[in-house]
Amino acid sequence: MAQLILMPDKERSALKRHPWLFAGSVGRLVGRARAGDTVEVLADDGRPLGRAAYSPQSQIRARFWTFDAAETVDDAFFKRRIATAVARRAALPELAGQEGLRLVHAESDGLPGVIADRYGDTVVVQLTSAGADKWRSAIVAGLVKATGCDRVYERSDSDVRGLEGLAPTTGWIHGTAPSVPLSIGENGVRLGVDIAGGHKTGFYLDQRENRRLLAELAGEKEVLNCFCYTGGFSLQALAGGAASVLSIDSSGPALAQARANLALNPHLPGVRAEWLEADVFQALRDFRKEGRQFDLIVLDPPKFAPSAAHADRASRAYKDINLLGCRLLRPGGLLMTYSCSGGIGLELFQKIVAGAALDAGRDARIVRRLAGSADHPVALNFPEGEYLKGLLVQVD
């Protein structure tokens, strides 16, 4: 096994069990290692720090599999880690019976670059790092064993694979496609899931509890759902008794799936739902000119800042959308606003929303801080895993 020797005094993050080693921390590689190979990581003075997956093309030069220098990284290792991740979720009562569930959450489950979501009897896996790609067969076997699922579909087509020197890969890697369209039940609502063409692995499971909260808040309110995608928040608002729900997205196919999702739920008052294909920013400006107002607005935009380098430009976009949201709320209205950008931290996001309310001439207060669902844990040694942050704000 090759050895990755760190630069002097660069072992601190590894000693704190942070899973990433950046290129600037690496001194030299002793021996040969290809992309995805497991290497021993040593401090400059020779102290063993653990074993990691080597990625010569990435700025994240290595990702730790284990901080135990004696632990073997083999097929059994991945089966153990996956079984542990699945068992963690089974131990949480709030996740019991969920048909849509994140099974493995990458670094926060000790498996960097591995995402696995379960939709009924189908698992969708996303492998985003060279190490995860190298151990594809072991990971799939571990998922099948831990879940008993008949089907595994791969959605390894995210942009970050390019940073690892990996090509996109999608398709069935265990079992065959189901004979009927895939759907899941969530908090009393049925939702179709497009695992081949949808965002991420097909759906945004991380917003499950926030959608439930929206249902609790929506009674008799006029709701505006921006960047609605396939209507998860919209349908929960209807289930919660909203007087009306206007949903906006720029994607025609996403709205088509949203309408199909509504059709899956004949118990919901579909006459109260309106779908609008439009640029959200422009639509909100038009509503402002028309004097329209709402009681509850959901802002769940796409990732504006994939990294800290994009934070300035993203901050302006978040400021703009939240400013428009504040102006469109009736006094006492609720703004449910989110950022899924890793380059925008919670403190900065709160400052952006505060600035938006100030510029809108509105007094506002945080009612609740919002985060991802319990199946999307954040390891304490990996705060970068807290990508989804949100605020429930009451605006006077």
Catalytic site residues?
Answer: 340
Retrieve residue 142's tokens.
Answer: 């571990």
Q: How far apart are CA 35 and CA 225, in angstroms?
A: 43
Retrieve residue 138's tokens.
Answer: 């072991």
DSSP conformational letter for 114: E
Q: How far apart are CA 296 and CA 233, in angstroms?
A: 12
How many angstroms separate the Cα of 190 from the Cα of each of 80, 232, 244, 336?
33, 9, 19, 22
The candidate with the shortest Cα–Cα distance to 239, out of 265, 203, 260, 261, is 265
Q: How far apart are CA 26 and CA 28, in angstroms?
A: 6
Q: How far apart are CA 309 and CA 348, in angstroms?
A: 14
The candidate with the shortest Cα–Cα distance to 221, out of 322, 323, 332, 325, is 332
